[in-house]
Amino acid sequence: MFGSIFAFVIVLSVIVLVHEAGHFFVAKKMGVKVEEFGFGIPPKLWSKKIGETVYSINLLPFGGFVKLHGENSEDEVTDVNRAFLNKSKKARTLILSAGVIMNFLLAIFAFSIVYSFSGIPRETDKVKILEVTTGSPAQVAGIVPGDIVKVVAKEEINSVSQFVNLVDEAKGEKLKITIERVIGDETEDKNVTLTPRENPPEDEGPLGVVITATEIYYPPIWQRPFVGIYYGFKEAVFWGRALVLGFVGIFANLFKGVTPKDIAGPVGIFALTSQAATIGALAVVNFIGILSVNLAILNIIPFPALDGGRILFIVVEGIIGKRVTPKIEAMIHTIGFMILLLLLLAITAHDIKNLISAGGLSGFGEKLFE
């Protein structure tokens, strides 16, 4: 349990601190005074003032914040030239979007580490057997993991889709397959005859095999960081797109009156972190990448109190030609923050309910991983 808590704190700390560091450094660059850099949600547990900025650790470790001088009200401004409200629209937009950008860069970095150590996947023209189900037609015929499918029904195989289509066409009929098997330093071809099932058990398929045309390769060590960054960027974009579509689906279901079931809060994140920690360090790093993209996408949503909501007010200012009254904007963001806290509590309650029904942390983590 201690290891799980440690991993959870590390994962959350890295993601939140990177996000807030984006706001912090860009604000400094733009000449805005940073009054406080906080980890977690108040009440405050510890704080120390270094220079002009107070650094604090707060009780609820579910986020963080950077308090900028003159961020919410003109009344609190004591240094006009260094107040956030007095900066240009471009400067304010850059400061607000910096956290999202940093989280996306963190995701790229995390995924690049994973690819650098675990290898780069690439497509081949060989269809390989990864798993064979016990009692399946494939096992009865003598096919084993590691075999390469060369010919099906006299047709040479060079893609997964081609293999699947030929097997589907032969359901209920005898089918001849030629496989290539590596034995020691030699390879040999073997012909087998089997009958694809017309009504196979769920998730097994007609032959009862798991196949792939992807292999893992390892570039020269000096190339791995560069190749890793390239694939890390693609992975971050993939998860970003998937999450956007997921959020769209959630909001669509809410309008239909359907309660979302696949949302995880702090307890769910703790369970997932624990599960990743049992797999290994690379799994934790990969999870950091996924979670960092989550935070980036979530924060760019134009909802009050989120970075996207604050940017929306700047966009409105550009359209109507004048700024929304700071006090009104601050009130709207406060209401949005309260709504987010209530949502967080509701999701946490939902997580606890699922944790109990799953029989514990391990079962809950496994269920979320599925």
Query: What SS3 class is residue 293?
Result: helix
Going by their DSSP bridges, the two strands 175-183 and 186-194 should be labelled as: antiparallel
Annotated active-site residue in 20, 71, 235, 329: 20
Q: By the 8 A CB rule, do 286 and 276 touch?
A: yes
φ, ψ dihedrals at 48, nearest 5°: -150, 135
Q: By the 8 A CB rule, do 254 and 260 touch?
A: yes
Q: Is 20 a catalytic residue?
A: yes
Query: What SS3 class is residue 168?
Result: helix
Task: Report residue 357 as tokens.
Answer: 């029904």
- The DSSP-derived string for 296-365 is HHHHHS--TTSHHHHHHHHHHHHHHSSPPPHHHHHHHHHHHHHHHHHHHHHHHHHHHHHHHHTTSHHHHH
Burial class of residue 13, CB neighbours in 10 A (0-12, 13-18, 19+):
middle
**Residues known to be catalytic:** 20
